[in-house]
Structure 1
Amino acid sequence: MWRALKGVLLFLIVLVCGFGIYVYLHKEPDRPLADLTERWAQPPSTFIELAGMLVHLRDEGPRNDKAPIILIHGTSASLHTWDGWAQVLSQDRRVIRFDLPAFGLTGPEPNNNYTIERYAEFVVTVMDHLGVDNAILAGNSLGGYIAWSTAVLHPSRVHQLVLVDASGYPYESESVPIAFKISQHPIASVLLKDFIPKALVENSVKNVYGNPDLVSQELVERYYQLSLREGNRSALSERFKQTKPGALAASIPDIKVPTLILWGAKDKLIPLKQGERFNQEILGSQLIVFDGLGHVPHEEDPQATVDAVLSFLD
């Protein structure tokens, strides 16, 4: 009996030590903004001083557009997720996109405020800075949550909505990226603060794609490097604590602007029934489902999804 117990204890000690060594070998310290800008802030990127932050932003297309299109990315993404859409839309429309507080090159919000109300206020602050009175807001996941919340809290500033696998209602996921699980766990997020092997990032990105084979190493590298921006990992944990689905959801039926809802049928993070609920509660909205795509259909198949947007705008 004692020999068996000693064997189990020895196994556990080896296991813990092995895991500790693995974590140590994959520790990656935060990187300062200056180390990341050369690669990830190429023209037309600019930085604007706003609300105590240096906000990474791209503003493309004709400036005489009366209702510019603002593209809002999701959790752990960046303005680069919209590259495919921006290339097409900016030919005829003014297209504005930026890294949200807590993500990309913008980094943490100085007051550590990541409530949905603060994010909606941030969008309006960017609009004010750029002299935009009224805009079409398009958002994916958290960005969709921010887009429709802005329409609820600041209705005079939103002309139309495009919701792409948007968050907002409470939901149960079929599968959650492992990086999100670690960030949301109160103990793991502290113990594994600097632990971020590239394989973990790759696994998380593939988790939100309908076809994981489309995830390139260049794409993984972008998500990986931008997650290392100084302060982003701590901010991500706070984002999950503060921006819970459900806030303002009772006001969704009050949205009156024309709304297009795009959804990937293979979304394992936010299931399609959430898109159907948006479609039911936003009067006159249109729902388009893409059978082979996942949680980020605009990134996975930019052409098919932006074609739906062009039809909606026309």
Structure 2
Amino acid sequence: MAGCFSFTESRNWCYRSTFKRAGLRSSLTDLGDGTVIHCWVPKNRDGSCPDLLLIHGLGVNALWQWGDVVGHFSSHFNVYVPDLLFFGDSFTTRSERSESFQAMCIMRVVEAHSVKRMSVVGVSYGGFVGYSMAAQYTEAVERLVICCAAVCMEDRDLKDGVFRISDVEEAAEILVPQTPDRLRELMGFALYRAPLLKLIPSCLLNDFIQVMCADYVEEKKDLIRAIPRDRKISEIPRITQPTLIVWGDHDQVFPLELGHRLKRHIGDNAEMLVIKDAGHALNVEKPGEFCTLLKYFLTGDPLSFPHKVRENEGSNC
């Protein structure tokens, strides 16, 4: 109801304050083709620091995906955190819904901010977009981190029973929740140790839906529908950049085998690390471990991280 306190808006305000304390500012870039991208960018870019792009997944905007960890990276990198199309203040009047189009839009934004080379971290759907960026812009993307993103899924995986939800329309209803029960279902899928979801008041869930999920509903569902459409491993390009694949051992959205499949597809340029007792939202459930592993990989520490990853590849760390 208008005029009532909104927990979600309050949380948005807290996250915005966190981003500002991390040295970031809000920026809108009009790409001139009916597309506008919102991105958090450095207030004062340090030319001596590397550039880092953080790409969120479905369900939330950039603030909610990265608010708890952005401060861990801003002291080491020039951090750029965009809202993907149809999240936050990003939108397009164009009809494209592929991760390839998302990648092209994000690339145009960072180029507008004079970024020429960067590392990219993508979580879930953001991993699809990050992989597409690495494939399309090989000179611009130096290193890539893919977190729980089934880039090597195929359209046949749905009917072959690889996923718990085998119907795309059902998945879209869950991933773009419009009722408290659907939001509880999404939380149950995303978290390994979900709270007692039935005890969460529906008024809080309705508030979240109204603020975060009520806009661009069909457009977001179209993004989900586009992921498996005619997707075949043989047509997925092999990237050459050093790549870290991070997965939760209890991921119920994208099964762990799809992480191993991606590792095999990329080959020797990729390392894989499985985080124990974590689900799909591993950056929420294990933020400290998540940030530590990423910083080791992204800063190229030759002594500690590569050795640790090779010892734990495909196992629990």
What interval of TM-score do these two structures reach, taking the shorter chain for normalisation?
0.7 to 0.9
State how far apart, in whole Å, the 2-side matches of 1:219 and 1:93 are: 35
Q: Is the 8 A contact 2:172 2:225 kept in 1?
A: no
Q: Is the 8 A contact 1:261 1:286 kept in 2?
A: yes
Q: Where in structure 2 are there 5+ consecutive unaligned residues?
A: 2-7, 302-317
1:115 aligns with 2:98: yes
Return closer, same or farther for 1:137/1:242 CA change in 2, 3 Å cut-off: same
What do you get for the CA RMSD once the two structures are aligned?
Answer: 3.5
Match of 2:54 among 71, 75, 80: 71
Match of 1:56 among 9, 25, 38: 38
Q: Is the 8 A contact 2:51 2:118 kept in 1?
A: yes
Structure 1 segment 62-101 matched on structure 2, within 5 A = 62-65=45-48, 67-79=50-62, 80-101=64-85
1:286 aligns with 2:286: no
Q: Deviations over 1:192-231 (max 9, x none)?
A: x9x82234213312321111129888996556521123xx
- Shift of residue 124, structure 1, vs aligned partner: 0.9
Structure 1 segment 134-145 matched on structure 2, within 5 A = 134-145=117-128
Q: Is the 8 A contact 2:50 2:118 kept in 1?
A: yes
Q: Is the 8 A contact 1:62 1:93 kept in 2?
A: no
Q: Is the 8 A contact 1:177 1:208 kept in 2?
A: no
1:42 is matched by which residue type in structure 2? R
Aligned to 2:260: 276
Equivalent position SS for 1:305: helix
Match of 1:228 among 214, 230, 234: 214
Return closer, same or farther for 1:184/1:113 CA change in 2, 3 Å cut-off: farther
State how far apart, in whole Å, the 2-side matches of 1:37 and 1:179 are: 33
Number of residue pairs aligned between Structure 1 and Structure 2 = 271
1:211 aligns with 2:193: yes
Q: Where in structure 1 are there 5+ consecutive unaligned residues?
A: 1-27, 29-34
1:303 aligns with 2:309: no
State how far apart, in whole Å, the 2-side matches of 1:300 and 1:112 are: 35
Identity of aligned residues (%): 19
- Which has the greater radius of gyration? 1
After TM superposition, the score normalised by the length of structure 1 is: 0.74
- Shift of residue 167, structure 1, vs aligned partner: 2.6
1:304 is matched by which residue type in structure 2? E
Q: Is the 8 A contact 1:76 1:236 kept in 2?
A: no
Aligned to 1:12: none
Return closer, same or farther for 1:179/1:243 CA change in 2, 3 Å cut-off: closer
